[in-house]
Amino acid sequence: MPKHSPETLNGAQIVVRLLERQGVRTIAGIPGGAILPTYDALSKSTIHHVLARHEQGGGFIAQGMARVSGVPAVCMASSGPGATNLLTAIADAKLDSIPLVAITGQVPKPMIGTDAFQEVDTYGLSIPITKHNFLVNSADELLTVIPRAFRIAASGRPGPVLVDIPKDVQNQCIEVSEWPEPGCADPVPVPDGERIAQAAAMINGAAKPILYLGGGVVHSSASQLAVALAEKAGLPTVMTLMALGTMPVDHALSLGMLGMHGARCTNLALDECDLLIAVGARFDDRATGKVAGFCPQAQIIHIDIDPSELDKIKTAHIGIAGDVGTVLELLLPAVDSRQRQPWLARVAGLKAEHPLRMPGVDDPRTPYGLIRAVANCLDDEATITTDVGQHQMWVAQAYPLRRPRQWLTSGGLGTMGFGMPAAIGAALAERERTVVCFTGDGSILMNVQELVTAAEENVNVKIVLMNNASLGLVFQQQTLFYGERIYASRFKGMPDFIQVAEGFGVAAVDLDKEDHPLAALAAALKTPGPTLIHASIATHEQVLPMVPPGAANKEMIGG
């Protein structure tokens, strides 16, 4: 610890100093009574505070920053409703393994447990949705808790950490003479070399292997290694929703996304494979379908940084706990260079026979056509976020993602309202990029208030609102699986989204009213600053193919 002359500081000033020392440049949040001392200290800091308009928005802005950078990002809220409003964004970060440090104010210690104004058991509420959490007992404790929160958030499998700080702890003055080192990720234990050798032998001996990449490849910055393994060993490669971008979707070995809305060829190839090499993937039910029917003939190699993921859903023949990048680095020299015919020929045949069908892809007034039109205006430097629903799956299927951390989506929790604030965060963290948020008329309203935050921060966020006047995925499921009994999924009232955006200070363009929608779209995407691009699509459009919930992946409908 470097020595400094002692300073007398209160807890709030200590928090802010520790955040500065941690290298935090931007924080998203909303002040309130119980966090005011910290905001007072923050007012004297060089840290940029982004004033969200709902704590959930603040949480997702922080997530956007964390998802594009891989570095823990910070959100802040007051006690009570401030903290409860943050919970969804924290739970979302937990399920997608996003490093987040949430700092909440709490009522003063003597009032805890008295049902004080704006008191809620933030610690208790956040236990099951955080990687770890703290209720800080003294200003002195902050010197260990804050760096530790960052260390935990970033170590191993990343995740959210919550630090609840009573107001009197924020106000408590102590003398600080030594500052702790910033918290950074712990080294990951070295993987078992013998198992890696066994895995290499299995890959070398397999006739019909498939590489199955998950979000862990993004977190480990291992996409180049994953692509190198696929190329050396001749492995057709599928990606989870979270892994899109790790292998360019137009790579010859890419089979795109697997699972509920994967292409037929992708799920059919998995059905035939004799070896599945899972890398940083957790066999989520949307990826596997009915587990017993997932890769029924395959042996499984499972590589994951989190030992509790091994054998959780499917028993692995070889389970390797370790950083996936490290494991891939050790695995690469041990696998044989293979052309792997006739398996690649068989997969090519499946691709030719059962490709992803994208009806209307040349017409910008259809879902696929609009998504491709947006992509045609941009290069791989653009960052893409989505909300949750049909538009999310269409974009996952059709957008040519080619770069890790290019793709920000709420995968595990599936939170409508994620897209726009996450896009704001992404744009704040990487000012030079264009950030496109694909959203729907259902999702956008769940955090629509952050439009004013986008305007205030003048972020380069383009919101592409695909308006089908319904909760599209609910509408689709009711159509397919509930005898077309459409209930509570079609909106009767419809806001004028152009007026809504303009009312919040965000420019807007309605492609419906443009004679040349492609030109209008290109112009809107090129103009710096936040813009809402509205486009109506038909309510009956479906995301296909679709694996019915609970069915095996080969039992796809449509497509």
Chain residues binding another protein by CB under 8 A are 123-124, 127-128, 131-133, 135, 152, 291, 306-308, 311-313
Least distance to another protein, CB of residue 124, Å: 7
Backbone angles phi, psi at 199, to 5 degrees: -65, -45
Least distance to another protein, CB of residue 147, Å: 14
305/328 with CB nearer another protein: 305
For residues 130 and 123, what is the distance between their CA atoms, to the nearest angstrom? 10
What residues have CB less than 8 Å from 177, skipping those under 6 apart? 3, 4, 5, 6, 7
Alpha-carbon dihedral angle through residues 242, 247, 252, 257, given to the nearest 10 degrees? 0
Least distance to another protein, CB of residue 309, Å: 9
Q: How far is CA 455 from CA 58, 356, 451, in A?
A: 15, 37, 6
269/321 with CB nearer another protein: 321
- The secondary structure of residue 309, as a DSSP letter, is G
Least distance to another protein, CB of residue 195, Å: 17
Least distance to another protein, CB of residue 158, Å: 13
Least distance to another protein, CB of residue 12, Å: 23
List the beta bridge partners of residue 106.
166
Least distance to another protein, CB of residue 128, Å: 6
Q: Which two tokens stand for residue 262?
A: 């994967």
With vertex at residue 403, the alpha carbon angle to CA 381 and CA 532, rounded to the nearest 5 degrees, is 50
Report residue 187 CA to chain centroid gap: 24
67/157 with CB nearer another protein: 157
128/483 with CB nearer another protein: 128
157/195 with CB nearer another protein: 157
Backbone angles phi, psi at 90, to 5 degrees: -70, -45
Least distance to another protein, CB of residue 221, Å: 23
Tokens 């603040």 belong to residue: 58
483/550 with CB nearer another protein: 550
Pick the closest to residue 64 from 396, 377, 437, 414 (CA basis).
Answer: 437
Least distance to another protein, CB of residue 319, Å: 11
Q: How far is CA 55 from CA 82, 338, 355, 513, in A?
A: 6, 52, 42, 35
Pick the closest to residue 196 from 30, 322, 336 (CA basis).
Answer: 322
281/428 with CB nearer another protein: 281
Report residue 83 CA to chain centroid gap: 21
**E strand segments, 200-274:** 209-213, 237-239, 254-257
162/416 with CB nearer another protein: 162
Amino acid at 143: L
Beta strands 507-510 and 461-467: pairing type?
unpaired
Least distance to another protein, CB of residue 132, Å: 4
231/285 with CB nearer another protein: 285
For residues 247 and 162, what is the distance between their CA atoms, to the nearest angstrom? 33
8 A C-beta contact, residue 154 and residue 122: no
For residues 149 and 170, what is the distance between their CA atoms, to the nearest angstrom? 17
Least distance to another protein, CB of residue 444, Å: 32
313/344 with CB nearer another protein: 313
287/416 with CB nearer another protein: 287
Least distance to another protein, CB of residue 291, Å: 6
162/498 with CB nearer another protein: 162
Report residue 486 CA to chain centroid gap: 30
Going edge to edge, which strands form the sheet with 100-106? 48-51, 26-29, 73-77, 100-106, 160-166, 132-135
148/433 with CB nearer another protein: 148
What residues have CB less than 8 Å from 531, skipping those under 6 apart? 461, 462, 463, 506, 507, 508, 509, 524, 525
Least distance to another protein, CB of residue 152, Å: 6
